[in-house]
Chain A
Amino acid sequence: MRYSIRQNGESRSFPLGESFLDGAVVDATAEIAVYLGSPVVADAGKTAVLVELHTECLAQHVDEAAPDSRNVLGFARYRNGALPPSNLVELVRFPSSNDGAVEAAKALLETAGMTVVVCADQPGRILDRLLRPKYNAALRFLEEGLATAKDMDTTCKLGLGYPDGPIERVVNGGLRHHYDVTKALFETYGTAAYAPPRQAVAAARRKEQ
């Protein structure tokens, strides 16, 4: 299936040099429209309209209740801060989304070498929803003196077979990035688990100065 790309600014999912960018056609009749950056224009004539998401929900771009949004889907390629993106794509659908659009989007991304997981339009989708509270807990444990950062990371690597530990992961991804994500999650969920931790708040404030 042919796809066109409408880009506005740098994409976190497909940064410059990614072959996915080269595979796009410059043709208004392409069956799938991919938006890397807003504004998004719904187009019921397309098989699917794909919108790259950051910390925001898909419903921020299009009205979920509008009939011409049925083929509009969100996506985000998981990426830990500024580190290179993984091949995992979270494909966001509404309950009312058209199944054909979901299948077409999945096929397109899988052809591009991605592993695609479909999820609901909720803040943090799957990964940030699950990972950020864990990083928050690890950072809090560090402050409380539970163990050293190295011992916490070693525990997760040796005890659970993780390739890296929570502290090295959140630090390598950038505490500033962690702040941005947790702030967005906290604003919606309002639960303490998502509250940006001191270290991330400090990193964000330092950047502002």
Chain B
Amino acid sequence: MTQKIQTVGVCGAGGTMGAGIAIVAARAGYSVICYDTVEAPLMKTVKQTEAFFQKSVERGKMSTAERDAVLARFDRTTDIGALAKCDLVIEAVFENLEVKRKLIGRLDEICPPHTIFGSNTSTLSITEIASGCSRPERVVGMHFCLPAQLMKLVEMSPGILTSEATFQAAWDWTVGCGQIPVKTQDKPGFILNALLVPFNNDAIRAIEAGVADAAGIDTAIKAGLGYKMGPLELIDLIGLDTQVRLCEAFYPITFDPRAACPPLLRRMVAAGLLGRKSGRGFYSYAGNAMFGA
């Protein structure tokens, strides 16, 4: 049974991804219930969301009346019971299998049988996340990109038990929101991270091997292929600690040597060189300026 999706729940809506996904859903005309266990981050997103839609008005993308209408579609709560009226619930909570499995199990008890559960996980298995509930056929991977409100791509993956109808309904909903979905199997890193994480590691290993320095490698990639950013600039942006976590998520499952954490990366994290957020990674940052590290 598939039912028309009208009300969408977002779990972890006080977080980076959840806040963006909520904007995507509300912008497309859905009533959105933003749920988080902690109130403070949830309330912080109110101002951010208002500012986002105010920018849309200033850019001539929507009228003030449309802005007011879209803002009126948001509900915010720390009570999970409020999600009982949702037709689709997308979770973007901490990247932890037990946390996600438990949450889906709880939603399974609260929501009506037709409700579809989407997971925004980057590294975990949809099938494993779905194993915490009685309706694994209604659980689907919906991996948005950061920032979700600006990036069109959504990697969508069915778990082993996901039904065709669920996948199709979630796919249609995503398209209806103006996003561009791609279909991928439920495998570690789906497409994007499965290609990117080992590639970024290889760039670090090229430095370790003395092939070239970070600036040389990034320049070669940008000038040779027309990429906007080199791999080491990108790692500095996402955070060296995040890259370590991605390696630790993928390598024990795939045993792909390219996914294993390069020793240099680990040493840099130990030294507090986390990238842009700490002021130094493969480059040094002072204000907006960037210097070769």
B195 engages A137 (CB within 8 Å): yes
A86 engages B223 (CB within 8 Å): yes
Interface residues of A in 133-183 (CB under 8 A from B): 133-134, 137-138, 141, 144-148, 151-152, 154-156, 158-163, 166, 169
Q: Which of A86, A137, A151, A156 contacts B183 (CB 8 A)?
A: A151
What's the minimum C-beta distance from A64 to chain B, rounded to whole angstroms?
14
B202 engages A88 (CB within 8 Å): no
Q: Chain B residues near A122: list those with CB within 8 A.
A: 209-211
Q: Contacting chain A: which of B7-15, B62-70, B147-155?
A: B147-155
Q: Chain A residues near B263: list those with CB within 8 A.
A: none
Q: Which of B145, B220, B221 contacts A159 (CB 8 A)?
A: B145
Q: Chain B residues near A148: list those with CB within 8 A.
A: 183
Interface residues on B, range: 35 or more
Count the A-B residue pairs with Cβ separation under 8 angstroms: how many?
A: 133
Interface residues of B in 193-224 (CB under 8 A from A): 194-196, 198-199, 202-203, 206, 209-212, 216-217, 219-221, 223-224
- Indicate whether B28 reaches chain A with its CB closer than 8 angstroms: no
- Indicate whether B252 reaches chain A with its CB closer than 8 angstroms: no
Question: Given A78-B224, A88-B223, A120-B210, are A126 and B184 also a contact pair (CB < 8 Å)?
Answer: no
Contacts A86-B224, A146-B184, A193-B258 known; 14 new A-B pairs at CB < 8 A = A115-B219, A117-B223, A118-B212, A119-B212, A137-B258, A151-B182, A151-B184, A154-B182, A155-B155, A158-B151, A159-B153, A160-B227, A162-B227, A191-B257
B212 engages A130 (CB within 8 Å): no
B258 engages A146 (CB within 8 Å): no
- Indicate whether A12 reaches chain B with its CB closer than 8 angstroms: no
Q: Which of B206, B226, B229 contacts A129 (CB 8 A)?
A: B206
Q: Which of B219, B224, B228, B257 contacts A161 (CB 8 A)?
A: B228
Question: Given A87-B223, A158-B152, are A146 and B211 also a contact pair (CB < 8 Å)?
Answer: no
In the complex, A137 Cα to B211 Cα: how many Å?
A: 22
In the complex, A162 Cα to B234 Cα: how many Å?
A: 13
Question: Given A127-B224, A147-B182, A151-B184, are A160 and B196 also a contact pair (CB < 8 Å)?
Answer: yes
- Give chain B's interface residues, CB within 8 Å of chain A: 145, 151-153, 155, 180, 182-185, 187, 190-192, 194-196, 198-199, 202-203, 206, 209-212, 216-217, 219-221, 223-229, 231, 257-258
Q: Which of A87, A134, A161 contacts B199 (CB 8 A)?
A: A134
**Most chain A beta-carbon neighbours within 10 Å: one of B195, B206, B217:** B195
What's the minimum C-beta distance from A135 to chain B, rounded to whole angstroms?
10
Q: Chain A residues near B211: list those with CB within 8 A.
A: 119-120, 122, 125-126, 129
Q: Chain B residues near A86: list those with CB within 8 A.
A: 223-225
B192 engages A163 (CB within 8 Å): no
Q: Which of A88, A137, A144, A145 contacts B220 (CB 8 A)?
A: A88
What's the minimum C-beta distance from A92 to chain B, rounded to whole angstroms?
10
What's the minimum C-beta distance from A31 to chain B, rounded to whole angstroms?
25
Q: Chain B residues near A52: list those with CB within 8 A.
A: none
Question: Given A117-B212, A120-B210, are A130 and B203 also a contact pair (CB < 8 Å)?
Answer: yes
- The 9 A-B pairs of least Cβ separation, nearest first, read A151-B182, A88-B224, A158-B153, A88-B223, A78-B224, A115-B223, A119-B212, A155-B191, A126-B220
Q: Chain B residues near A161: list those with CB within 8 A.
A: 227-229
Q: Which of A127, A141, A155, A166 contacts B221 (CB 8 A)?
A: A127
A159 engages B151 (CB within 8 Å): yes
Q: Which of B153, B202, B227 contacts A154 (CB 8 A)?
A: B153
Closest to B199 in A: A134
Question: Given A119-B216, A127-B221, are A155 and B192 also a contact pair (CB < 8 Å)?
Answer: yes
In the complex, A192 Cα to B209 Cα: how many Å?
A: 18
**Most chain A beta-carbon neighbours within 10 Å: one of B151, B212, B231:** B212
In the complex, A120 Cα to B217 Cα: how many Å?
A: 12
A138 engages B227 (CB within 8 Å): no
A163 engages B151 (CB within 8 Å): no
What's the minimum C-beta distance from A190 to chain B, rounded to whole angstroms?
12
Q: Chain A residues near B192: list those with CB within 8 A.
A: 155-156, 159-160
Q: Chain A residues near B227: list those with CB within 8 A.
A: 160-163
What's the minimum C-beta distance from A153 to chain B, rounded to whole angstroms?
9
Question: Given A133-B198, A146-B194, are A90 and B220 also a contact pair (CB < 8 Å)?
Answer: yes
Q: Chain A residues near B216: list those with CB within 8 A.
A: 117-119, 126
